[in-house]
């Protein structure tokens, strides 16, 4: 009897040792086959190991053996017998440099975690001799993610879940569309699916969001800032100069100011500001402080556009975008039609919008997709263009009433949170 107990204990210990073994040798072997380099990172307090990979990716995934670039991938490893949370970042992934960074679903599942920086966001960019905007496509990005999964499934053989926030959530949707069998479940969070560079659904959203009193207060604030802009413009110019912001691409500082005021309503609802915080008869400095706090000084500045150029390119090429309804303000501004974001085009590049991929993705989600959970903020303007799952019984769309772009699984109301977590655990079991 003692001998049997000893054998059982030894077996359990050996199993734990095997599951906790380092993946460094696996990475070393795979790096030679799949042409990537890696380095060991500080493991922090959450994971057993962490690695930074630089994966060689085709600039155009449809043309193998062509020009390439290196894509940044962060692996946070626990054990190979746990699932993987695959984070499809839509922008930069610098936050994943933190040793203790975890996505909320990583915590929910006690999972391994892989974070992939989006192509063309620094430093995951081609060198200057290979750089070409035409390769920044939905399809190419999805193929990037598929290849990374293809490589790392040699190590992680348990179930995979993809997730992302906002543009990262869109990226997760696209990956699921092109490669539906790569992951067992996809959880896009606060992700839109637009069909125009001037989404009409956003305009309709602003007519109904919140209370009439709050909507009127926002409009009154914008009207004051535009109708009497001579009171505020010099303060805006001074602040822009202090922050080294210029507005040449949009047509000068006056248009830059006007667009910042027009952005106010979108940004206000996107980030869940309080209607009680809106000043209407304050000193000019206080009014401008409110404007900049909500809209930001650099949203459409030359420097802001340059920093976010990959986003703007994708928005105006495939992702879609919103515009600004000038109807209530047309007597006070220099724009003669609703402004959209054509002024953000990269220098010397003509961008034509093509909604074809989004229409195919929309059909896929409505009719074919399996195992997807969508998290949406009820007062988020991006929520107004979120996916429609009318014809699917397998998908789940959770709308948190009254919340904004900061909506997450763990801040959902108890009943919704439990529903989502239970669905995740059931599928990933």
Q: What is the mean pLDDT of residues 135-162?
A: 98
63: CATH: 3.40.50.1820
Is 379 among the domain residues? Answer: yes
Q: What is the mean pLDDT of residues 261-281?
A: 97
Q: What distances in angstroms separate CA 79 from CA 54, 76, 145, 195, one per listed residue?
A: 22, 10, 22, 41
pLDDT in tens, 40-55: 999 999 999 999 999 9
Is 375 among the domain residues? Answer: yes
pLDDT of 82 reads: 98
Is 12 among the domain residues? Answer: no
Q: What is the mean pLDDT of residues 262-282?
A: 97
Q: What is the mean pLDDT of the chain?
A: 95
Is 11 among the domain residues? Answer: no
Same domain, 159 and 267: no
Same domain, 129 and 254: no
Is 79 among the domain residues? Answer: yes
pLDDT of 14 reads: 45
pLDDT of 154 reads: 98
Same domain, 184 and 204: no
Same domain, 248 and 324: yes
pLDDT of 43 reads: 97
Please state the pTM of the whole predicted model: 0.94
Same domain, 52 and 163: yes
Q: What is the mean pLDDT of residues 123-145?
A: 96
pLDDT in tens, 358-379: 999 999 999 999 999 999 999 9
pLDDT of 65 reads: 77
Same domain, 114 and 238: no
The 68-77 sheet, strands edge to edge: 36-41, 49-58, 68-77, 112-116, 84-88, 160-165, 185-189, 373-377, 396-400
Cβ contact 169:136 at 8 Å: no
Is 263 among the domain residues? Answer: yes
Structure-derived torsion over alpha carbons of residues 132, 135, 137, 140, reported in degrees to the nearest 10: -150
Which of 9-18, 86-95, 161-170, 278-287 is least confident?
A: 9-18
Same domain, 387 and 274: no
From the list 145, 127, 320, 95, the residue with the least C-alpha distance to 312 is 320
Is 16 among the domain residues? Answer: no
Q: What is the mean pLDDT of residues 264-290?
A: 96
pLDDT of 1 reads: 54
pLDDT of 7 reads: 47
Cβ contact 73:117 at 8 Å: yes
Same domain, 31 and 171: yes
Of the chain, the percentage scoring pLDDT greater than 90 comes to 92
Same domain, 170 and 43: yes
From the list 332, 322, 298, 306, the residue with the least C-alpha distance to 385 is 322
Q: What is the mean pLDDT of residues 113-139?
A: 97
Which of 126-130, 218-222, 322-326 is least confident?
A: 126-130
**What percent of the chain is helix, strand and coil (3-state, nearest 5)?**
45, 15, 40
Q: What is the mean pLDDT of residues 184-191?
A: 98
Helix (H/G/I), strand (E/B), else coil: 39 = strand
Which of 19-23, 98-102, 266-270 is least confident?
A: 19-23
Is 7 among the domain residues? Answer: no
Last residue of a domain, one of 314, 344, 374: 344
Residue 20 has pLDDT above 70, yes or no: no
Q: DSSP letters of 72-92? A: EEEEEES-TTS-EEEEE-SS-
Last residue of a domain, one of 320, 344, 368: 344
Helix (H/G/I), strand (E/B), else coil: 323 = coil
pLDDT of 3 reads: 55
Last residue of a domain, one of 295, 312, 344: 344
Domain that holds residue 327: 200-344
Same domain, 209 and 180: no
pLDDT of 4 reads: 52
Split into its structural domains, the chain has a count of: 2
From the list 272, 296, 279, the residue with the least C-alpha distance to 224 is 279
Same domain, 69 and 183: yes
pLDDT of 391 reads: 80
pLDDT in tens, 382-391: 999 999 998 8
Same domain, 273 and 375: no
pLDDT of 62 reads: 84
């Amino acid at each position: 009897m003692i001998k049997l107990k000893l054998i059982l204990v030894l077996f359990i210990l050996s199993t734990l040792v095997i599951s906790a073994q380092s993946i460094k040798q696996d990475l070393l072997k795979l790096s030679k086959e799949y042409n990537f380099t890696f380095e060991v990172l500080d493991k922090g307090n959450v994971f057993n190991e962490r690695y930074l990979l630089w994966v060689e990716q085709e600039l155009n995934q449809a043309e193998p053996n062509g020009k390439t670039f290196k894509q940044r991938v962060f692996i946070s490893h626990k054990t190979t017998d746990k699932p993987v949370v695959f984070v499809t970042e839509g922008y930069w992934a610098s936050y994943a440099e933190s040793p203790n960074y975890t996505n909320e679903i990583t915590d929910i599942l006690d999972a391994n975690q892989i974070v992939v920086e989006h192509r063309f966001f620094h430093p995951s960019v081609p060198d200057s001799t290979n750089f070409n905007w035409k390769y920044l496509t939905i399809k190419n990005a999805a193929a990037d993610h598929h290849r990374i999964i293809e490589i790392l499934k040699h190590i992680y053989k348990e179930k995979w879940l993809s997730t992302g926030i906002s543009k990262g959530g869109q990226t997760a949707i696209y990956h699921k569309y092109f490669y539906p069998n790569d992951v067992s479940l996809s959880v896009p969070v606060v992700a839109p699916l637009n069909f125009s560079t001037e989404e009409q659904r956003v305009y309709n959203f602003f007519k109904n969001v919140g209370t009439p009193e709050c909507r009127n207060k926002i409009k009154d604030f914008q009207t004051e800032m535009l109708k009497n802009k001579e009171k505020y413009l010099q303060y805006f110019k001074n602040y822009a100069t202090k922050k080294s912001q210029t507005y040449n691409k949009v047509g000068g500082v006056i248009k830059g100011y006007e667009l910042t005021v027009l952005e106010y309503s979108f940004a206000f609802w996107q980030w869940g500001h309080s209607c009680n915080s809106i000043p209407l008869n304050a000193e000019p400095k206080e009014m401008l402080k409110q404007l900049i706090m909500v809209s930001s000084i650099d949203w459409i500045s030359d420097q802001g556009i340059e920093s976010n150029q990959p986003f703007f390119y994708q928005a105006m090429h495939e992702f879609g975008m919103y515009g600004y309804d000038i109807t209530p303000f047309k007597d006070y501004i220099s724009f003669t039609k609703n402004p959209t974001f054509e002024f953000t085009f990269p220098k010397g590049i003509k961008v034509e919008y093509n909604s074809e991929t989004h229409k195919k993705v929309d059909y896929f989600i409505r009719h074919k997709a399996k195992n997807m959970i969508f998290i949406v903020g009820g007062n988020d303007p991006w929520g107004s263009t979120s996916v429609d799952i009318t014809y699917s019984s397998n998908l789940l769309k959770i709308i948190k009433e009254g919340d904004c772009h900061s909506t997450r699984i763990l801040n959902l109301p108890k009943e919704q949170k439990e529903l989502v977590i239970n669905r995740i655990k059931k599928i990933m079991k």
